[in-house]
Structure formats: structure tokens, C-alpha cells
Structure 1
């Protein structure tokens, strides 16, 4: 796949939270394909945590949430921990979601998409980013994600989202494929404190 520069990746991402979390992840991994999940320091992305989540890589269980940001839970009107991520998407989006997960976990590469969220009476578009996190064995066994609306939606949190659907994935406006060929790069963008290995708080669900 064509190489994607860090600058092109940042320009493709439209939302501040997406850029900040990607910048942190990119800096933390250094020369590796992905950082270890035990290295995450939530303090570095404190201002983004409400829109951030961590998924277990478990195809049989639909990739359940291990951690879910407060804003995301409020949008769906439920506590999302243990809820299968796949359950949030409509049936038509399942093949695209499966491909996204393969890109992240087998290809050890970021994946970005525009998704649509619908309640009973409203719709909104959101930006979704999925990033691989590796266990001690070197396999991507977690995904770090960001979900944030592309435009302010006054009704989010009052009218629960019923389903998400994939709207757009694939090549960005620079002609490079967002799902592969990402070079490692040092540095950080919009971080709340300098990058250093840390430990993301683990709940009792592992």
C-alpha cells in the first residue's frame, strides 16, 4: 500500500481528539508498529478521555469494550463496558467493521472512518479512529479507539444512539490508503504532558 506520511495522516483527521490521540500513540510507539498496551498513560490524553475507548480483540464476542469514555456511554444511554463493539453497528456495516478490525489487528495499522449515528429522530456524523495495542507477546490484543462528532449535536446524550453505520473509509485526499503503510515517527501533537511509558487504569474486567 502507498506510504502515508504523518503530516498527511494528521491532515486527514478532522477532529482535535482524533489528532491528539493519534499523535500520542504515534509518539509512544517510536520505531515499532504499535506500542504495548501497558505503556499507555491516560494523563497524556486527559482532555480526550471522554471520547476514548479500549476494546478487547475477541471476534467471538464482538470485541467487547474494556474501557469506554463517559461521553460515548452517554450518547448510547448505557454503560458500555463488556458490551460488544460490533453490536453498536448496523447489519450492513458488519463486513466493513470486520475489515477494519483485520486491518488494525492483523496488519498492525491504524484505521480511520466516518460513521453515521442515528437515534429515533436524529442523525449525526462522527469520526472514528482505531489503533492497535500489543500485548507482551507482540500480538495486537487490544484496540485504542476514538469516537467524536464531526459537528456539534445538541441532542447527543438526550436521545440515545441506536446504531452506527460506516459512511466512508479508505483513501484520503492525498491519495494514500489510511489503513496501511504508516511510517513510525517521533514527537507528539497536542499532548497534555510529555510522552513517557505509563499504565492505563485497568478495570476489573481485565
Structure 2
């Protein structure tokens, strides 16, 4: 992620998350990110194909010339781009991944500028990721931004970031992350509120050859 707003929001989210797959929705304190609120939003995942804006900052709405509340994020893009965004969001919901998109947005008159779209997973009332905190930030701020509607949106690039370097999944009984399978065989050992990855090594095996 390149934009300072995205970096600050990610840092705040990651601090709240700790060793969990994602922070709880109610843990987000608007006062802690007050300087970035005009560029931030909250999404609700209704279904795999429906990711609805619950809140959207004023600068986002002004930049695109629409009221984002209630809008399905996927409908902002053409079919091919929407499928990619949907696939990335599915990874975020299942593995706690962070999504970073670069988007070109343009007006009917030919004006255009790039945006960085950051999406951070959150857990609401259930034991699944169904809320997302995010930011929609222009890479530069041309003097016409906010005066024309940006009705054309094209996905330029997309990236998945795993904060812990590996995919995670929710353990619904303990509400803590469980490491997904990796190339090496590993087993999870839990003690109180801690958990450890134990890799089988040479000393733990009997060599029969």
C-alpha cells in the first residue's frame, strides 16, 4: 500500500487485531482515526456477491459524485473486474487477508485519476468475517476532483497481504487464529490462551532405514 491514509489505517487495524484473525467491529474507535474518516468506509458482507457500504466518508462520496450508502461494491465495476474483486474479498473473509487495489476512475468528459482501495477484515456479532474497514484514497488530488462524477472505474492492479505472512482461519470455539496448512507438516498445540506450531523434525522420528 502506497498512500499514507492506507498505511495509517492498516497500522491501527493491525494493532487492534493483535494475534487474532481480525479485530471486532465494536473495537473501532472513530476518534482514533478522526483525521482519516472522510476517506474511510465500512462494508457489510451480505452474501458472496453482495458487499454493501454501510458508511462512507464525505471525501469518497464527493470524489465519485454518488452517495455510497447501500451501494454494492461489486456493482461499481464491470463484470470482469467485479469477479476479481469478489475473489479477493472471499480470501479476506476466509483467511483474514488484507486487500489492496489500484483503480483508475474517470469522468464522461475524459478526466481521470488513480485511487488506492484498501479493505481490512473485521468480525461483527458472529464468529465470521462479515464487516470490512477500508479507505478509498486518490493517488493525487487534481483541482477538479470532487466537481465531476467519476462514473467509469477500471481495476489496474490487486494485491493480497497476509499480516502474519500466512493465511489464517477462525477457530470458532476460541476466537483465535488457526494456521492453515503449509508445505511442511505441522500440528497445532494449545496451552491456555496460547497456541504453537510444532513441526516434526529428525529427533521426533524413528529412522527405519
Q: TM-score range by the shorter chain?
A: 0.7 to 0.9
Superposition TM-score, scaled by structure 1 size: 0.75
Confirm whether residue 179 of structure 1 aligns to residue 161 of structure 2.
Answer: yes
1:183-202 counterparts in 2 under 5 A?
A: 183=164
- 1:140 matched residue in structure 2: 129
Any idea what the Cα deviations from partners look like across 1:102-131, whole Å, max 9, x if unmatched? Answer: 121112111112111111121111111100
Q: CA deviation at 1:61?
A: 6.4
Query: How large is the RMSD of aligned CA atoms in angstroms?
Result: 1.6
User: Which structure is higher in RCO with an 8 Å CA cutoff and minimum separation 6?
Assistant: 1
Does structure 2 retain, via aligned residues, the 8 Å contact 1:90–1:163? no
Q: CA deviation at 1:60?
A: 6.4
- Local SS of the residue matching 2:126: coil
Q: Give the Cα–Cα distance (whole angstroms) in 2 for the partners of residues 163 and 97 of structure 1.
A: 16
Cα 1:163–1:62 shift into 2, 3 Å: farther
Identify the range of structure 1 (81-90 vs 16-25) with the bigger mean alpha-carbon deviation.
81-90
Any idea what the Cα deviations from partners look like across 1:81-120, whole Å, max 9, x if unmatched? Answer: 1111112122231111111211211121111121111111
Match 1:25 to one of 13, 25, 47: 13
Could you list the runs of 5+ residues in structure 2 that have no partner in the other structure? Answer: 166-209
Deviating runs (4+, > 3 A) in structure 1? none
Q: CA deviation at 1:68?
A: 0.4
Confirm whether residue 162 of structure 1 aligns to residue 144 of structure 2.
Answer: no
Instruction: Kindly name which structure, 1 or 2, has the bigger radius of gyration based on alpha carbons.
Output: 2
Could you list the runs of 5+ residues in structure 1 that have no partner in the other structure? Answer: 1-12, 171-177, 185-206
Q: Give the Cα–Cα distance (whole angstroms) in 2 for the partners of residues 52 and 126 of structure 1.
A: 13
Superposition TM-score, scaled by structure 2 size: 0.74
